[in-house]
Amino acid sequence: MVASFFIGACAQAQGVQYITTQQFKDSIFDYVHHKDWQYKGTQPAIIDFYTTWCGPCKRLAPIMEELSQTYAGKVRFFKADTEQERELAYVFQISSIPQVLYIPTSGQPILLKGLYPKEEIIKIIDQQLLQK
């Protein structure tokens, strides 16, 4: 029930949504019970792994917010604070930030390190997630 509420609420919400480790397991992928990647969502998703003190993360945040509006209804945008969501950061071996996880509806997710320009992020979304 919680997972379906979370998925429904996020599908309707605009903007970048904060995601906890438990919400990730409930609505994205339950890595505790499944070894192989099994995305639970119906729309592509992006998770921005960040911390509040990271300069490049602060520069990425408004880009992600803008893109969440541009791709509203097509791609879900999330952010996870690696200091608050340590288990999730550990699972994805986040050792430097920002890192962005691009999750297509089928196939394997793509984890990229560093701050990419907005145009490059758009290209990744269009080609890898929306397959334009």
**Active-site residue (options: 7, 19, 46, 57):** 57
Does the annotation count 10 as an active-site position?
A: no
The length of the chain in residues reads 132
**Active-site residue (options: 19, 54, 75, 94):** 54
63 burial via Cβ count (<10 Å: 0-12, 13-18, 19+): middle
Does the annotation count 54 as an active-site position?
A: yes
Cα–Cα distance measured from residue 112 to residue 123, given in angstroms and rounded to the nearest whole number = 13
Cα–Cα distance measured from residue 102 to residue 83, given in angstroms and rounded to the nearest whole number = 20
Angle at 5 between CA 73 and CA 76, to 5 degrees: 25
Contact between residue 63 and residue 118 where contact means Cβ atoms under 8 Å apart: yes
User: Which residues are identified as catalytic?
Assistant: 54, 57
